[in-house]
């Protein structure tokens, strides 16, 4: 890999090699469209690539991978640009941008979809809903499916239908030597295993073939639990979810209540536990499950309604806009003991901004029923997932937010089980990548060493191939 000062020349070398045959757009600094194209979702990561290659099709991806590999240039792959860690950009290097590759095809009869590697979740939802079907993915429609599915993919339907990666039948990808490879239960089985949770380590996925499920509407309830009852609510959530049906998803966010009209005046700006309950079964059967969950919420904050699946999937879009500053740390708890709950409750009062939150989700359900060895995705036996997400707007507040997230993480770390969901990791946690895969790490390294021995695909939660690992 070239040193920084050589990268500028390397990007020119890649441009010269590509510009005659490339069908998509090649954007260099100073050219029209470059400034918009270089921005990613997390404004904490503002980089200036030497070349953005916005591919029009698979052969463009092959050309870009070959040219980047020959030039030895640092290369980022971008789908939706939502990497929390900022992996979809780099300074002076090459960005292979898939945003022109957003085709979705659905076969309602076989309940299958095929979508291109640059799709956002929203375009998949829109296409599948036309057939009354769903692909289980994430909760914000402007997130890229490429990064989300390859890391695992959790969302509203995880308990009902499993992780996104559990629903992939076949990947088609361009590997480091520029060739196109397919991976499914019969072809390249090790690669198929590794791609389900292993992130962008193995190649550029140009097409996902996935299973779909029938669903068009859901019931959603929300409520705010005041500070004095947060401890009791978390105890109830912990005890209740262990036996909850797979039709129920109950997420809890600990945060300061926003200063908005729909929030009761007494709660505005105060620490609260915000409960979100989703029911995907028969609407009439939801109430017995919602009642105990909502009884600790302030009655004037409770809202329960039936809604379309598409409304559910876009509901949180505005809360996580492009261009703000974000920093995360994440982990799994095998159980939520009382002192962990105490620590979280104590931390809410010190949250540095109204948008920053402690997100808690309970996995289990269909996702928890898949054996640990079946996919590269991290351990499914620790059902409590915590995501600390710092969310703010001013660069001058970076230090306060980052130190709050890190400080709370360190306090909670002893109660966690080894393991982490790679898509919720920040960019400064390379030492935790082996932990993310723990007993699956050796197999991950073997698959990486076979398909990407020179570590061309390195801007990700990176698995070092053997030879490079040995050199240290
Ligand atoms: C607002 C927001 C909401 C989120 N909600 C959820 C959620 O509900 N559930 C959840 O599980 N996660 C969620 N995440 C985390 C999300 O899964 C990761 O940030 C994911 O990496 C985003 O994918 P992307 O394609 O947009 O990212 P990008 O930044 O484009 O890419 C991220 C990584 O994926 C690799 N990659 C992307 N596409 C491809 C491809 N086609 N082939 C090979 N490698 C590829 C890149 O190399 C890079 O390392 C959310 C993130 C954000 C910012």
Q: Which of 81, 88, 249, 330 to mutate to test the pocket of ligand 1 (most atoms within 8 A of CB)?
A: 88
Q: Which of 49, 137, 147, 276 to mutate to test the pocket of ligand 1 (most atoms within 8 A of CB)?
A: 147
Tell me the whole-structure pTM to 2 decimals.
0.97
Q: Which tokens is 469 given?
A: 């690992």
Residue nearest to atom 39 of ligand 1 (CA): 146
CA–CA separation, 419 and 434 (whole Å):
9
pLDDT digits (tens, 9 = 90+) for 293-326: 899 999 999 999 999 999 999 999 999 999 999 9
pLDDT digits (tens, 9 = 90+) for 204-238: 999 999 999 999 999 999 999 999 999 999 999 99
pLDDT digits (tens, 9 = 90+) for 65-80: 999 999 999 999 999 9
CA–CA separation, 287 and 14 (whole Å):
60
Instruction: Give backbone dihedrals phi and psi of 136, rounded to 5 degrees, phi first.
Output: -70, 120
CA of 87 to the centre of ligand 1 (A): 9
CA of 165 to the centre of ligand 1 (A): 13
Q: Which of 42, 76, 146 to mutate to test the pocket of ligand 1 (most atoms within 8 A of CB)?
A: 146
Task: Note the maximum CA span of the chain.
Answer: 66
CA of 356 to the centre of ligand 1 (A): 20
Is 1's pLDDT higher than 80?
no
Residue nearest to atom 6 of ligand 1 (CA): 138
CA–CA separation, 8 and 72 (whole Å):
12
CA–CA separation, 402 and 42 (whole Å):
14
């Amino acid at each position: 890999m070239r040193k920084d000062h050589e990268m500028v020349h390397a990007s020119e070398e890649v441009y010269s090699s590509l510009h005659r045959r490339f069908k998509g757009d090649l954007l260099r600094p100073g050219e029209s469209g470059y400034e918009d194209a270089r921005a990613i979702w997390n404004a904490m990561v503002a980089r200036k690539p030497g070349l953005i290659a916005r591919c029009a099709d698979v052969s463009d991806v092959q050309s870009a991978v070959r040219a980047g590999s020959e030039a030895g240039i640092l290369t980022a792959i971008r789908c939706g640009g939502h990497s929390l860690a900022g992996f979809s950009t780099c300074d002076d290097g090459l960005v292979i941008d898939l945003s022109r590759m957003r085709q979705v095809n659905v076969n309602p009869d076989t309940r299958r979809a095929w979508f291109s590697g640059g799709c956002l979740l929203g375009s998949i939802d829109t296409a599948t809903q036309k057939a009354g079907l769903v692909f289980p993915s994430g909760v914000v429609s402007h997130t890229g499916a490429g990064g989300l599915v390859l890391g695992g993919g959790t969302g509203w339907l995880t308990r009902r239908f499993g992780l996104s990666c559990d629903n992939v039948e076949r990947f088609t990808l361009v590997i480091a030597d520029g060739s196109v490879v397919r991976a499914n239960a019969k072809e390249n089985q090790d690669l198929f295993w590794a791609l389900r949770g292993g992130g962008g380590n193995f190649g550029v996925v140009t097409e996902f073939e996935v299973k779909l499920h029938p669903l068009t509407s859901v019931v959603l309830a929300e409520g705010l639990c005041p500070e004095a009852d947060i401890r009791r609510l978390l105890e109830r959530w912990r005890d209740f979810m262990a036996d909850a049906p797979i039709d129920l998803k109950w997420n809890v966010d600990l945060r300061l209540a926003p200063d908005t009209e729909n929030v009761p005046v007494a709660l505005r700006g105060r620490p609260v536990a915000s409960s979100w309950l989703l029911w995907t079964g028969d609407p009439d059967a939801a109430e017995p499950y919602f009642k105990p969950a909502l009884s600790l919420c302030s009655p004037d904050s409770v809202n329960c309604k039936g809604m379309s699946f598409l409304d559910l999937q876009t509901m949180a879009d505005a809360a996580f806009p492009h261009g703000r500053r974000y920093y995360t740390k994440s982990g799994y708890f095998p159980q939520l003991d009382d002192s962990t709950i105490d620590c979280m409750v104590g931390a809410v009062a010190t949250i540095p901004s109204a948008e920053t939150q402690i997100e808690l989700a309970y996995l289990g359900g269909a996702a928890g029923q898949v054996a640990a060895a079946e996919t590269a995705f991290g351990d499914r036996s620790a059902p409590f997932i915590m995501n600390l997400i710092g969310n703010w707007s001013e660069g001058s507040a970076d230090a306060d937010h980052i130190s709050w997230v890190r400080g709370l993480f360190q306090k909670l770390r002893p109660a966690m089980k080894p393991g982490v969901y790679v898509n919720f990791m920040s960019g400064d946690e390379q030492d935790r990548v082996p932990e993310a895969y723990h007993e699956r790490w050796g197999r991950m390294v073997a698959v990486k060493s076979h398909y990407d021995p020179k570590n061309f695909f390195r801007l990700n939660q990176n698995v070092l191939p053997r030879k490079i690992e040995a050199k240290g």
